[in-house]
Chains A and B, each alone.
Chain A
């Protein structure tokens, strides 16, 4: 009984960590531009696919990972430069539609560049399961937890301890004020796309040995990351992390105790629930502003 629960919890936390990274990607871009980037899932796909291809071609894993992260960042930067930046005077809704178009384009390009098959990576440190109170934990899950945790700490450090991170935060709080102290908001926007693409790629790389990946793996991962971000309160980094874990655990419990057919429905039920009953999410904007 408890072992089964623990088993579901492990699998929920593993996918939840990836949703959290995707959710953070949504939050970072949303904060700098109020745009919801529906190509976020494609960054995850690119990270996984590129690494899998390079490893299959014989490159050592660390090098393949580094190159894929770089490639994903370049795609993020190109997306901003060539699709978002030229439309910067348009409505936010228009730009969101552009990101949907970009995601379809990236999926198509992936299908041509690679194929429609599933690809995988060897687990980073073996496949020997670890027994924990009757449940089993795959070593790769530990990699997922560890890497996600490290990424979150690094992000925290970046946004709270570096000048450029603070400038990005400041831009999200008050764009005009940021411009008036000399923050280049264009640079901030570009950096937010690069950073989100990097986060996506990291998630894609660590999860691929568990879930496999193919050219359209980004759709579901992106949507779940989006529900994580909405659940946590759009634009709230901590909220996206908590939201991601909740979505992952809810999903795992539902497919364990109800039926695995409901697994993907859970994320959408959560989105609907949040939009109906708590549109600001769990940690939506608190009123610290005095007018």
Chain B
């Protein structure tokens, strides 16, 4: 088991956002987490990256308890997140954004990695000297994913990569996620777009008001009556 979360709770002040989450991610898997707005999806990801304090439970990575580890050390272990709303370094160049993605790493491989990113996302190469804030929403999303990949993720956390994008771009982003999975990247995909996410996922979890209410194979969740009704609008 690469990542194992058990009994995780987290609060915003007195409000409990996560009410005891149990969740596992195996090496090489694409696991999807779906749920409505405010279910706690982003909070869970923030806890996994260490930028949101947890109030109970444990997060184990590679068998080691990392619940109290600082965010920067988790990145060093290979827990890399592409956050909700892209969060690129707006005034800095695309290239600097990518370079900062490899902040925890050293050595000459960084240049080769960057070339690999440019190959995967040619548009970023074309705009590499421009401030990231001038890119379109879809391009910023690609940059955010590429920046996370620059950290050599052992597990890539993607928070709502399709949010706010035109349908054509959404399809493109999901294609990218699938390609990453083919390459063997372990991915934890958080999405409101439940159909698209479950369609490419090995397994899925359904989150409702801070608790996991369902978990199963992606394909099975797609045909689950409850999921269909609540999230797929079928």
- B133 engages A181 (CB within 8 Å): no
- B76 engages A182 (CB within 8 Å): yes
Q: Which residues of A contact B101 (CB under 8 A)?
A: 181
Q: Kindly state whether residue B89 has any CB partner on chain A within 8 Å.
A: yes
Smallest CB gap from A187: residue in B: B72
Cα–Cα distance between A163 and B101 once the two chains are bound (Å):
11
Cα–Cα distance between A44 and B207 once the two chains are bound (Å):
55
Find the residue from A170, A180, A184, A289 having the highest chain B CB count within 10 A: A180
- B103 engages A174 (CB within 8 Å): no
Q: Kindly state whether residue B147 has any CB partner on chain A within 8 Å.
A: yes
Give how many B residues have a beta carbon under 8 Å from the other chain's beta carbons: 33
- A289 engages B90 (CB within 8 Å): yes
In whole Å, how far is B109's beta carbon from the nearest beta carbon of chain A? 14
Cα–Cα distance between A180 and B147 once the two chains are bound (Å):
10
In whole Å, how far is B88's beta carbon from the nearest beta carbon of chain A? 7
Smallest CB gap from B137: residue in A: A290
Q: Kindly state whether residue B185 has any CB partner on chain A within 8 Å.
A: no
Partner among A173, A182, A290 whose Cβ is within 8 Å of the Cβ of B151: A182
Q: Kindly state whether residue A194 has any CB partner on chain B within 8 Å.
A: no
Q: Kindly state whether residue A167 has any CB partner on chain B within 8 Å.
A: yes
Q: Kindly state whether residue B43 has any CB partner on chain A within 8 Å.
A: no
Smallest CB gap from B136: residue in A: A290
In whole Å, how far is B89's beta carbon from the nearest beta carbon of chain A? 5
Q: Kindly state whether residue A183 has any CB partner on chain B within 8 Å.
A: yes
In whole Å, how far is B185's beta carbon from the nearest beta carbon of chain A? 17
Partner among A169, A174, A182 whose Cβ is within 8 Å of the Cβ of B88: A174
- A180 engages B71 (CB within 8 Å): yes
Q: Which residues of A contact B72 (CB under 8 A)?
A: 179, 182-184
Cα–Cα distance between A176 and B49 once the two chains are bound (Å):
11
Q: Which residues of B contact A170 (CB under 8 A)?
A: 89, 92, 96, 100
In whole Å, how far is A1's beta carbon from the nearest beta carbon of chain B? 44
Known contacts A181-B101, A288-B133, A290-B134; is-contact A174 B87 (Cβ 8 Å): yes
Q: Which residues of A contact B103 (CB under 8 A)?
A: 163, 167, 181-183
Tell me whether chain A's interface is mostly helix, strand or loop, or mixed.
helix
A162-197: contact bitstring with B at CB < 8 Å (1 yes, 0 no)?
Answer: 010011011001101111111110000000000000
Cα–Cα distance between A178 and B80 once the two chains are bound (Å):
12
Q: Kindly state whether residue B91 has any CB partner on chain A within 8 Å.
A: yes
Q: Kindly state whether residue B135 has any CB partner on chain A within 8 Å.
A: yes
Cα–Cα distance between A99 and B75 once the two chains are bound (Å):
33
B181-209 contacts to A (CB < 8 Å): none
Partner among A166, A167, A179 whose Cβ is within 8 Å of the Cβ of B71: A179
Smallest CB gap from A169: residue in B: B92
A249-288: contact bitstring with B at CB < 8 Å (1 yes, 0 no)?
Answer: 0000000000000000000000000000000000000001
In whole Å, how far is A237's beta carbon from the nearest beta carbon of chain B? 12
Q: Which residues of A contact B151 (CB under 8 A)?
A: 181-182
Cα–Cα distance between A170 and B80 once the two chains are bound (Å):
17
- B92 engages A173 (CB within 8 Å): yes
- A166 engages B49 (CB within 8 Å): no
B100-139 contacts to A (CB < 8 Å): 100-101, 103-104, 131, 133-137
Cα–Cα distance between A167 and B75 once the two chains are bound (Å):
14
Q: Kindly state whether residue B19 has any CB partner on chain A within 8 Å.
A: no
Q: Kindly state whether residue B70 has any CB partner on chain A within 8 Å.
A: yes
- B90 engages A182 (CB within 8 Å): no
- B75 engages A173 (CB within 8 Å): no
Cα–Cα distance between A181 and B76 once the two chains are bound (Å):
9
Cα–Cα distance between A167 and B72 once the two chains are bound (Å):
12
Partner among B89, B135, B136 whose Cβ is within 8 Å of the Cβ of A174: B89
Q: Which residues of B contact A288 (CB under 8 A)?
A: 90-91, 131, 133-134
Partner among A163, A174, A180, A184 whose Cβ is within 8 Å of the Cβ of B51: A180
Q: Which residues of A contact B71 (CB under 8 A)?
A: 179-180, 182
Cα–Cα distance between A178 and B101 once the two chains are bound (Å):
9
Partner among A163, A166, A173, A178 whose Cβ is within 8 Å of the Cβ of B90: A173
In whole Å, how far is A238's beta carbon from the nearest beta carbon of chain B? 12
In whole Å, how far is B63's beta carbon from the nearest beta carbon of chain A? 22
B123-162 contacts to A (CB < 8 Å): 131, 133-137, 140, 147-148, 151
- B88 engages A180 (CB within 8 Å): no
Q: Kindly state whether residue B11 has any CB partner on chain A within 8 Å.
A: no
- B70 engages A166 (CB within 8 Å): no
Known contacts A174-B87, A290-B134; is-contact A179 B100 (Cβ 8 Å): no
27 example contacts (A-B, Cβ-Cβ < 8 A) are as follows: A163-B103, A166-B92, A166-B96, A166-B99, A166-B100, A167-B100, A170-B96, A173-B90, A173-B91, A173-B92, A174-B87, A177-B83, A179-B49, A179-B51, A181-B100, A181-B103, A182-B71, A182-B76, A182-B103, A182-B104, A182-B151, A183-B72, A288-B90, A288-B91, A288-B133, A290-B90, A290-B133
Mark A residues whose CB is within 8 Å of B. 163, 166-167, 169-170, 173-174, 176-184, 288-290
